[in-house]
Amino acid sequence: MRPGTAAILLLSALAAACSTTPSAPPDDPVPAPGYVRLEEGRFAIDGEPWYPLMLNYKAFIEDGRVVPAPWYTGSLRENFDTIASWGFNAVRVCLDVLPEEGDTAAMYAATRRMVQQADSAGLRVMLLIKPPFHGHWQDYAIGLMHRLADLPALWAYDLMNEPLYFDPKDNRDKKEAVRVVQQWRQMVRTHAPHQLFTVATAEPIEVFEWDPSMLPVDFIEMHTYHPLRVQAEMWWYSHYCHKPWMVGETGLPSDGDSVPYSEQLTFMLDTYRYAKANGACGYGWWEFQNCPEGVNFEAQYTGLRDVQGHRKTAVDIVRELGRTCPDTMADEEQRPPVNYYNMLAYGNLAATGRVVDNHGHSVEGAVIRGWNADWSVGMNTYSDSEGRFRLVSNDRCTHFEVSAPGYSKVKFSKDLPYPSGMPLPDRTREYQQIPLLGWGPAGGSTLPAHGDTRYEAPAAAEAPMGDIALKKL
Range of 453's domain? Answer: 341-470
Query: 367 and 299 share a domain?
Result: no
In this prediction, residue 226 carries a pLDDT of 85
What is the tally of structural domains in the chain?
2
Residue 471 has pLDDT above 60, yes or no: yes
Measured between alpha carbons, how far is residue 355 from residues 351, 405, 415, 462, 467 in Å?
13, 12, 19, 17, 6
Q: What is the pLDDT of residue 413?
A: 97
Query: In the chain, what's the furthest Cα-to-Cα distance?
Result: 100
pLDDT at position 155: 98
User: Do both 210 and 235 map to the same domain?
Assistant: yes
Going from the C-alpha of 12 to that of each of 1, 6, 17, the distances in angstroms are: 16, 10, 9
Question: In this predicted model, what pLDDT tens digit does every residue of 106-163 receive, in sequence order?
Answer: 999 999 999 999 999 999 999 999 999 999 999 999 999 999 999 999 999 999 999 9
Residues 289 and 398 in one domain: no
Written as one letter, the residue type at 384 is D
pLDDT for res 369? 98
406: left (phi over 0), alpha (psi -120 to 50) or beta: left
Last residue of a domain, one of 291, 309, 332: 332
Residues 240 and 362 in one domain: no
Average pLDDT across the chain, whole number? 89
- Give the DSSP per-residue string, 55-96: EEEEEEEETTEEEE-TTS-S-HHHHHHHHHHHT--EEEEE--
Whether the pLDDT of residue 314 is over 80: the answer is yes
d(CA 284, CA 447): 18
Q: In what order do the strands lie in the sheet with 367-372?
A: 378-382, 367-372, 397-403, 409-413
Please write the tens of the pLDDT for every residue from 320-371. Answer: 997 766 666 555 557 888 889 998 889 999 999 999 999 999 999 999 999 9
Is residue 72 in some structural domain?
yes
pLDDT band at 451 (very low <50, low <70, confident <90, very high): very low
Share of the chain above pLDDT 70, in %: 87
Closest C-alpha among 94, 45, 95, 71 to residue 249? 94
Give the model confidence (pLDDT) of 53-110 as tens digits. Answer: 999 999 999 999 999 999 999 999 999 999 999 999 999 999 999 988 889 999 999 9
CA distance 465 to 302: 40
Which has the higher per-residue pLDDT, 141 or 5?
A: 141
Give the Cβ contact number of residue 209 at 10 Å: 19
Cα separation, 416 vs 24, whole angstroms: 53
Mean pLDDT of 218-233: 94
pLDDT tier at 431, thresholds 50, 70, 90: confident
- Domain stops at, among 307, 332, 357: 332
Identify the pLDDT of residue 442.
33
8-state DSSP, 283? E
Could you give the CA distance from residue 154 to residue 383 in angstroms, rounded to a whole number? Answer: 39
Same domain membership, residue 362 and residue 321: no
Q: CB of 411 within 8 A of CB of 397?
A: no
Look at residue 20 and tell me if it is in a domain.
Answer: no
The verdict on 221 and 365 lying in the same domain is no
Q: How much is the pLDDT for 51?
A: 96
Residue-level length of the chain: 473
Whether 107 and 221 map to the same domain: the answer is yes
State the CATH number of the domain containing residue 448: 2.60.40.1120
| DSSP 3-state percent helix, strand, coil across the chain (nearest 5) | 30, 25, 45
Residues 222, 112 within the same domain: yes
Q: What is the pLDDT of residues 10-55, one digit of tens each?
A: 333 333 333 334 466 778 899 999 999 999 999 999 999 999 999 9
Start-to-end CA span in the chain (Å): 58
Q: Is 13 inside a domain boundary?
A: no
Tell me the pTM.
0.89
